[in-house]
């Protein structure tokens, strides 16, 4: 709960054990607050959690030794190079000077920043800046990495590059996103959040398999039992009814995590 009384995260009970776990939800769903609590940046008003058996409240100092957390919209220090910033971070994590240099160069090359390693961060594109932070997490070799919306605001190509970098992480990863495609692409387990609560979870496959016999119908005209989203009408129907809707001028699409989100009762108009 924030000082103004706003409850950001409430009654969350979850066990996250997969290599890449994703928290998905709309803006304000509580993803960032939950991630900041788990990464010891924000003190919860009540409740607790453990990471690798360490309590995030009582053993925060020990937790900080095994985690690395990349904040949402983090930006590099413009005047310094990616190499300097990654190395500086690793020195802060008590790497030796030579290890910090080596790990920094390795990680920056892994994410495709080898040629920009000594360019001031001000000269990097948005995608390259995000990749620098992913490199920072890779280089840290932390057991658990938290990535808060690592691709927000990036063009599709940059997003693919960041995904590729994330896949190179050896750590267990908890990332937040509101891009369902990102969750499908990267994670073994997905937790859906809305209004500070976990509303569903499972592997991407298991979540989608529940709706394997259905399709998504999109139309400009109202349909019975449809959801209205920004002037568009969305409905879920059995696959064998697709032909009928196509004849009416509607578009038929396969079910994605986006649809799961809508079907779980999230009021998108609000």
Partner 1 sequence: MNPKFILHFSFYYGIKAIMRGPSYIIASLVTPLTLLFVVYILTAGKLVEFAVVGGMISLIASIGLQSAGDATFFRLQLRIQELYVASEVTPIDYMLAMTLSFLAFSIPGIIVYSLLGAYYGLYTIQTSAFMAFLIFMLILSTSAISFIISGLIKHVRNVWGITAILSIVMTVIPPTFYPYVDLQGRLGTNGLIYFLSLSPATPAAISAQMFFGLMPWNSTMFTTMIIFLLGETVVYFAIAKFLTRWREV
* Count of C-beta atoms within a 10 Å radius of residue 268: 14
Pick the closer one to partner 1 by CB: 131 or 214: 131
**How many residues sit close enough to partner 1 to count as binding (CB under 8 A)?**
38
Map the footprint of partner 1 across residues 23-42, applying CB under 8 A: 36, 39-42
Minimum separation from the CB atom of position 19 to partner 1 (A): 19
What span, in angstroms and rounded, lies between the C-alpha atoms of 172 and 181? 20
119 near partner 1, rule: CB under 8 A: no
Q: How far is the CB of 152 from partner 1 (least distance, A)?
A: 13
**Cα–Cα distance, 175 to 191 (Å, whole number):** 10
x/- site string to partner 1, residues 123 to 152, per CB under 8 A?
A: -------------x---x-----x------
Site for partner 1 in 46-105 (CB under 8 A): 60, 64-65, 67-77, 79-80, 84-85, 87-89, 91-94, 97
Say whether 55 sits in a helix, a strand or coil: strand
Give the angle 70-262-21 at the CA atoms, nearest 5°: 30
- In 131-182, DSSP assigns E strands to 144-148, 172-177
> Site residues for partner 1, window 3-22 (CB under 8 A)?
3
CA 137 to chain centre: 14
Q: What is the distance between the alpha carbons of residues 72 and 170, in angstroms, rounded to a whole number?
A: 21
Q: 236 with 263: CB under 8 angstroms?
A: yes
Select 41 or 50, whichever has its Cβ closest to partner 1: 41
The footprint of partner 1 (CB under 8 A) covers 3, 36, 39-43, 45, 60, 64-65, 67-77, 79-80, 84-85, 87-89, 91-94, 97, 120, 136, 140, 146
């Amino acid at each position: 709960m924030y000082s103004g009384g706003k409850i950001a995260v409430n009654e969350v009970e979850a066990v996250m054990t997969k290599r890449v776990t994703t928290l998905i939800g709309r803006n304000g769903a509580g993803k960032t607050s939950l991630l900041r609590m788990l990464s010891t940046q924000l003190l919860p008003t009540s409740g607790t959690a453990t990471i690798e058996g360490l309590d995030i409240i009582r053993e925060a100092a020990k937790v900080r030794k095994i985690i690395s957390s990349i904040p949402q919209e983090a930006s590099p220090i413009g005047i310094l190079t990616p190499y300097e910033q990654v190395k500086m971070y690793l020195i802060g994590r008590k790497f030796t000077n030579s290890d910090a240099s080596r790990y920094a160069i390795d990680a920056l090359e892994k994410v495709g920043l080898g040629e920009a390693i000594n360019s001031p961060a001000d000269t990097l594109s948005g995608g390259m800046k995000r990749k620098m932070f992913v490199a920072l997490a890779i280089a840290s070799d932390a057991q658990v990495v938290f990535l808060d919306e690592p691709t927000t605001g990036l063009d599709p190509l940059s997003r693919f590059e960041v995904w590729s970098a994330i896949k190179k992480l050896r750590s267990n990863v908890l990332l937040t996103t509101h891009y369902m495609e990102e969750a499908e692409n990267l994670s073994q387990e997905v937790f859906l959040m809305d209004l500070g609560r976990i509303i569903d979870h499972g592997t991407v496959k298991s979540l989608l398999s529940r709706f394997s016999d259905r399709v998504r119908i999109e139309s400009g005209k109202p349909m019975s039992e449809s959801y209205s989203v920004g002037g568009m009408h969305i409905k879920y129907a059995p696959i064998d009814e697709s032909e009928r809707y196509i004849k009416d001028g509607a578009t038929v699409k396969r079910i994605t995590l986006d649809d799961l989100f809508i079907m779980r009762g999230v009021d998108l108009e609000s």
